[in-house]
Structure 1
């Protein structure tokens, strides 16, 4: 079983008498967390999880979740493929820009495209998203211009977009705090009687934070319409999952009183179906759900990290064989007779996106170094004034040095 079912607290409206699903166990799922040494050596059978597309691109049936992608067309699948390719290209361009000194830092999503695009495309326009700092694919699905994501990492702004324009909150650097924001927002949605849901993204490492566990408690007690979407990419910077938990992450939900499900995070179709199911529960008054997308961070945690120091190349190559983009491509080629022209057009579009992003970032103005002192206090403050003067003197010292 992939879902831990519990009785929800006083649901507003119940549409399912039982919350449960049978997962598809597959060798393409990845190694089981909790039994792997930090070297990445596989020590046990693969975990049970919901999977609709195998790594070879073969469609597999699932009695519980097929209904949530029933009727999906070849054109819609091609749209998901396009989303993942363009998101990956944007991400690789951002990484390159950081290496060239154009960005201060970048957190890559490489390998997690299916989890983000699948869940992002499951959302309705009136649903609200609370991301961390790696949800570039979800931002794409919400219509946020990729260039706007880079302003913060270049130091030009503190976000770069209006959260209410796309129902996509600003990136959150503080680990796990957005889950509390999402829970409070969802409680408000419920009190307003709105027919919408909230989704909060976080990683396996964040699941150890007190904020996340407090969010679980409040959301369960108040039956909040929120989906907690955990992208378990196996590594919290250099700490493997077995250092975060002694049980599979999705099972933690049972202790808080709501269901959890583990989905193949490299299967965009399964992520779409499971997230639709969880969002439907939330909108129907059945409270929160924990979705654990079992995936892998193919690159570094951020561009300041070197993953070769703590994980094996063998592990990385094993997950590379389960690549989410290649998986859907294989399915499109074999099941939907998609020709090479489509893939070539998507590749050309992705290169155009890379050029646009590169040119836009390089054209961004340098940030105002004194802006940091503005808006600290509504009426000003003597200490801030003193710090501003000290900074001005520091800046002037460079000009003096150049004049010598």
Structure 2
């Protein structure tokens, strides 16, 4: 396809919205593992690509389940689960080129995996021993953002900088860059997100807004946040939007790839709504049984993003049992490494919290540091008695 096919009138090929995603949903692999074709986004996927998607999703899910278990055992202070959203994250993450830049929320563990970030670096943040100690420049993957929706403004500003650096529309695939901003359906109600849409549209910034609509903003259902499908909001700001089956890794990859390329060529922003479902809790402090029906969860389990790829691989003879056994073994090894690595992460020096407040410490900050150090010394004195 050409990016001219991905213009503002793209939504006209879709039908009316339905509660299950509707006919406007871009899908290339059904929940039953059957391949379907959409002319706007269709492409051939190699067996290696398909097996790679499967591996990424299985290992991402293992990161999630192990981290949840670590939190339950008191090893992490909190954990933001992504169960059920693996395809949305892996599909979009693998569509990125090395020079592209991703701005995550606090749940993009699958994108972090695709960008080559060691998941132990994520655990340090949730264990409370650092503030997220990876170098964003090393993987072109920003620090996790706790403030809901704030990263969309960061991403838009960064994209405007990329534009001014002349890294957009040159025709050089090694130079042209795009930015992707992840956020959830709940964040779409935040002023920051809407302001980011305005700036991106006004300056034609090379940014893709990737909304993982998992149906719940903590305990608020999507029906209380919007009267229209989220992707249709983009037209009000003057750029295209598209809704994709967020449990379909192939469709998510293809749609995100097209949106990113559109940005790199200088055609401006796109809103991608990945229609998915949070099968777990919002975080490990949340109890979803208090506000949603178990029947809904069971329905969405039938749309599991990993299961449909596994069925497709087996049905078409693209992977044998040795492959699946090797992936299971790799997941087990990853689980062991995460458990052992988390428990051996070094505790931070409590005084290090003062080290990065200002480039040069102020007298007031020095007094605060000295006072806190004296307070900590009292614990050593009491222990020695």
TM-score when scaled to structure 1? Answer: 0.87
The correspondence of residues 41-80 of structure 1 with structure 2, limited to 5 A, is 46=22, 48-66=24-42, 70-80=43-53
Contact 1:31 1:47 in 2 (8 A): no
Question: Aligned residue for 1:137?
Answer: 110
Query: Cα 1:75–1:362, aligned 2, differ >3 Å: closer, same or farther?
Result: same
Residues 53 and 270, structure 1, Cα contact 8 Å, conserved in 2: yes
User: Is contact 2:205-2:263 (8 Å) kept?
Assistant: yes
Contact preservation (8 Å) 1:147, 1:357: yes
Aligned with 2:244: secondary structure? strand
CA drift of 1:383 comes to: 4.0
Give, in whole Å, the separation in 2 of the partners of 1:264 and 1:14: 20
SS in 1 for 2:68: helix
Aligned-pair CA distance for 1:223: 0.5
SS of 1:160 mapped into structure 2: coil
Cα deviation, residue 378, structure 1: 4.2
**CA 1:257 to 1:51, structure 2 compared with 1: closer, same or farther past 3 Å?**
same
> Is the CA contact (8 Å cut-off) linking 1:25 and 1:49 kept in structure 2?
no
Deviation at 1:138, TM superposition (A): 0.6
Q: Distance in 2 between matches of 1:182 and 1:377?
A: 24
What CA distance in whole angstroms lies between the structure 1 residues aligned with 2:265 and 2:147? 31
Contact 1:130 1:169 in 2 (8 A): yes
Match 2:216 to one of 216, 231, 235: 235
Farther-moved stretch of structure 1 (154-163 vs 297-306): 154-163
**2:15·2:23 contact (CA, 8 Å) conserved in 1?**
no
Aligned match of 1:91: 64
Aligned to 1:49, what secondary structure does the other structure show?
coil
Pairing 1:222–2:198 present:
no
For the 8 Å contact 1:183–1:218, the answer to whether it is kept is: yes
**Deviations for 1:36-92, whole angstroms, at most 9, x for unmatched residues?**
xxxxxxxxxx463101111000011111110xxx23111210110000000100111
Structural mapping, 1:341-356, within 5 Å:
341-356=322-337
Tell me how far 1:106 sits from its aligned partner. Answer: 0.8
Provide the C-alpha distance between the structure 2 equivalents of 1:93 and 1:71, rounded to a whole number of angstroms.
34
CA distance in 2, matches of 1:48, 1:222: 28
Contact 1:30 1:319 in 2 (8 A): no
- Please give the alpha-carbon distance, in whole angstroms, between the structure 2 residues aligned to 1:180 and 1:163: 17
Q: Quote the Cα distance in structure 2 between the aligned partners of 1:15 and 1:311.
A: 41
Q: Please say if residues 23 and 62 of structure 1, whose CA atoms lie closer than 8 Å, have aligned partners that are also in contact.
A: no
Output one character per residue of 1:103-135: Cα deviation in whole Å (capped at 9) or x when no partner: 111101110000000011111111111111111
**C-alpha offsets along residues 196-228 of structure 1, whole Å, 9 cap, x if unaligned?**
111110000111111111110010011111100
Matched, 1:302 2:283: yes
How far the C-alpha of 1:238 sits from its partner, in A, is 0.8
Q: Whose helix fraction is larger, Structure 1's or Structure 2's?
A: 2
Note the residue ranges of structure 1 that are not aligned, 5 or more in a row.
1-12, 33-45
- Structure 2: how far apart are the matches of 1:337 and 1:23? 32
What's the offset of the Cα at 1:323? 0.5
Indicate the RMSD between aligned Cα atoms, in angstroms: 2.1
**Of the candidates 126, 129, 136, which is equivalent to residue 153 of structure 1?**
126
Shift in Å, 1:386: 4.3
1:338 deviates by 2.1
Q: How does 1:251-266 map to 2 (within 5 A)?
A: 251-266=232-247
C-alpha separation in 1, matches of 2:367 and 2:127: 27
Q: Which residue number corresponds to residue 284 of structure 1?
A: 265
Corresponding pairs, count: 374
Instruction: Give the equivalent residue in structure 2 for 1:41.
Output: none
- 1:81 corresponds to which residue? 54
What corresponds to 2:347 in structure 1?
A: 366
Deviation for aligned residue 1:24: 8.8
Q: Is the 8 A contact 1:199 1:226 kept in 2?
A: yes
* Cα distance in structure 1, aligned partners of 2:6 and 2:315: 38
Match of 1:114 in 2: 87
Q: TM-score, normalised by structure 2?
A: 0.92
Tell whether the 8 Å contact from 1:179 to 1:211 is kept in structure 2 after alignment.
yes
Other-structure match for 1:38: none
